[in-house]
Structure 1
Amino acid sequence: MKIGVCSNVRGDLPWREALEYFASKGIQCVEVGVGGYPGKDHCDADVLLNDEAAYAEWKKALDDTGITVSGFSCHSNPVHPNKEFAAESDKAMRDAVLMAEKYGIHNIECFSGCPGDFEGAKYPNWVTCPWPNDFGEILDYQWNEVLIPYWKNFVKFAKEHGVTQIGLEMHPGFCVYNTQTLLKLREAVGPEIGCNFDPSHIIWQGMDPVTVIRALKDAIFHVHAKDTRIDENNTRLNGVLDTKSYADEINRSWIFRSCGYGNDRLYWNDIISNLRMVGYDKVMCIEHEDSLMSLDEGLDKAVACMKDTVIKDEKLTNARWI
């Protein structure tokens, strides 16, 4: 298992400088943003897919630093009711597929998206309860008329270009946000739909990462290493659904933390051990969003935690008791 990072954490640096910075910390691979919310600071697909000299220079920076790409990310909302925004999101996702094809990997990472509540809606509508009955009607429209048809079409395009693993991050605010909704879309669309497993969103919703890992098994295509700390006092007062600013840390029910600052090393050891037990042995890709730490210190803390917890060697297969 390798240690990776979402490269947009150093989107302020040119591509080669960012890779050199990551390599100096012992990071082995990067998830590269191709558009959407992560931006495209390190991967302008309009250039790299059409200018072979530019792509060769981009690829050489990877080769020179010994870093590889673990996936191309395009986290956005391709089913947004704003047609212009949806089209931009869809383009970023298709660019990610084409970049994966060009680079030679078979996976991308993204969100499922969330439609509005009817064809003429202005904003997405994330439904979180079954009653009043209007919500059930909204879900029926979102899933059967928008979400499933979109993803069937997108998977067809992805497969035509060699991408067979589309890792959806289970993120509140989007239709796929927990185990059940991930598996529901996978069943409706096909095994190309899987998970970009991010424990931080699992934790604050009250799910147990290990339980989810064992349920998803080979549907886990990529993993983010990001932690969450639950504030028990604030949660007892207001619950976990929290719309306060991420900068208002002392009053929030939970905040994102660097790995090891939300939960202890044993917690992360269990996550990594269970990932290996279900057959995932690729990368722990650090996503730094700890608002209590600087960029550099937060990344250092997360890397140190991952260096202590990732299992690097092959499984023991020749012991006499196996």
Structure 2
Amino acid sequence: MKLGFLTSCLPRLTLPEVADWASTHGYQALEVAAWPDLGARPFTATHLRAESFGAADAEATLRLFDDRNLTLSSIAYYDNNLHPDPAERSAVNSHVLACIETAAQLGVPTVGTFIGRDPGATVAQNLRQAERVFAPLVDRAGELGVKLVIENCVMEGWHPDGYPGNLAYSPELWEWMFSLGLYLNFDPSHLVWMGIDPVEALRPYVDKVAHAQAKDIEVFPEKRNRYGYPGMAVNRTDPWDVGWWRYRVPGLGEVDWARLIDVLYEGNYEGVMSVEHEDPVWGGTEDRIYTGLHVARRTLAPLLVH
């Protein structure tokens, strides 16, 4: 298993700059952000331009990773494939397809995205829509030897009332996804605040995990006692501020990384463990982000067999 990180935590850097830092600070892989340019939207970056990626881009990217002895583990474009606006939904679906084509050019095994949700429809209605939306994407990925992986992020900020905005948050929904030919990009942090044991949830599904992310979470039970599971309701000015938990880098939260990685090894997972750095304590500046990535590496590297 190799240790990597998702490049979206460093949106102002170029991909060569991110690769230089990673290769000199103990990382072996990068999960490369490939959102279209969305301006200041948080948690996104454009380190590959999938919509215009050509042979020359592929050659330069492969040389970049080869020269630095890095693995490109996945292409990352996590957006709402069930967006309620038809034009926006079509644009998201088309960009996922562009990412699949780009992954094939680079020999990258996976492309990561979300199921998403139309908040004006029921869960059952959304699932039927998703079955239609993802069928051509899964077919094209299969033709090109690429696996489409779905992160189990809740995306509560996409729903007007803070309920799940990405219908991939539980093992019940994973089984539905797998029936469509989709795979899992497993992130334990989201399961913790949903009340699901991430180690036991993972155990039966390791063979469907085609990529894994490492993000931790810190929970404040006394605040949950006030707000309840959905989070703040009266004064929630930031849709992403639930009020009773926050993301942390691995080692500063509640995930039992030794047990979780042991389950991955027991299930013969041989891919990349990709740090997704969204820690508000170790964010804000590049130096603080680098410190967070150092903490994550010191936590995870001793647990990985090289």
TM-score, with length taken from structure 1: 0.82
Structure 1 residue aligned with 2:127 = 143
Contact 1:272 1:311 in 2 (8 A): no
Question: What are the ranges of 5 or more consecutive residues in structure 2 without an aligned counterpart?
Answer: 155-164, 283-287
Distance 1:65 1:10 in 2: 18
- The alpha carbon displacement at 1:309 in A equals 2.0
Choose the corresponding residue for 2:216, options 227, 239, 245. 227
Residues 1:253 and 2:244 aligned together: yes
Among candidates 189, 205, 216, match of residue 216 of structure 1: 205
Say which of 137, 141, 148 aligns to 1:158.
141
Displacement of 1:64 in angstroms is 1.2
CA positional deviation for 1:269: 0.4
Give, as a single letter, the amino acid of the residue that structure 2 aligns with 1:56: E
Structure 2 residue 161 is matched with structure 1 residue 170: no
Amino acid corresponding to residue 181 of structure 1 in structure 2: L
Query: Corresponding residue for 2:32?
Result: 32
Q: How much has 1:282 moved relative to structure 2?
A: 1.3
Q: Are residues 171 and 248 of structure 1, via their aligned partners in 2, closer, same or farther at CA, if it must alter by over 3 Å?
A: closer
Whole-angstrom CA distance in 2 between matches of 1:248 and 1:186:
28
**Which amino acid in 1 is paired with 2:169?**
Y
CA RMSD of aligned residues (A): 2.1
Identity across the alignment (%)? 23
Runs of 4 or more, structure 1, over 6 Å off, are 245-249
Tell me if structure 2 keeps the 8 A contact 1:34–1:95. no
Corresponding position of 2:158: none
Q: Tell me, yes or no, if structure 1 residue 289 matches structure 2 residue 285.
A: no
Contact 1:110 1:167 (C-alpha < 8 Å) held by counterparts: yes
Could you say what secondary structure the match of 2:116 adopts?
A: coil
Q: Deviations over 1:145-196 (max 9, x none)?
A: x111112222112112222x22111122112211111112322x2xx31210
- The alpha-carbon deviation at position 7 of structure 1 amounts to 1.3
Determine the C-alpha separation between the residues in 2 that align with 1:246 and 1:26. Answer: 35
1:140 is paired with a residue of what secondary structure? helix
Is the Cα contact below 8 Å between 2:224 and 2:231 reproduced in 1? no
- Structure 2 counterpart SS, 1:311: coil
Is the contact between residue 269 and residue 310 of structure 1 (CA under 8 Å) also seen in structure 2?
A: no
Q: Which of residues 220, 244, 258 is equivalent to 1:269?
A: 258
C-alpha change, 1:81 and 1:248, in structure 2 (3 Å) is closer
Q: Per-residue deviation at 1:78?
A: 1.6
Matched residue count: 283
Contact 1:202 1:208 in 2 (8 A): yes
Q: Does structure 2 conserve the Cα–Cα contact (< 8 Å) formed by 1:223 and 1:285?
A: yes
Taking a change above 3 Å as real, the CA distance of residues 239 and 27 of structure 1, as seen in their structure-2 partners, is: same
Tell whether the 8 Å contact from 2:82 to 2:126 is kept in structure 1 after alignment: no
Q: Secondary structure at the match of 2:269?
A: coil
Once the two structures are superposed, the pairs formed by residues 1-322 of structure 1 within 5 Å of their partners are 1-35=1-35, 39-49=44-54, 52-118=55-121, 138-144=122-128, 146-163=129-146, 165-172=147-154, 173-187=165-179, 189=180, 192-243=181-232, 244=236, 252-263=243-254, 267-293=256-282, 294-312=288-306
Structure number, greater radius of gyration: 1
Aligned-partner Cα distance in 2 for 1:248–1:150: 26
* CA positional deviation for 1:40: 4.9
Given that residues 28 and 66 in structure 1 are in contact (C-alpha distance below 8 angstroms), is that contact kept between their aligned partners in structure 2? yes
Moved more, 35-44 or 79-88: 35-44
Q: Note the C-alpha offset of 1:116.
A: 4.2
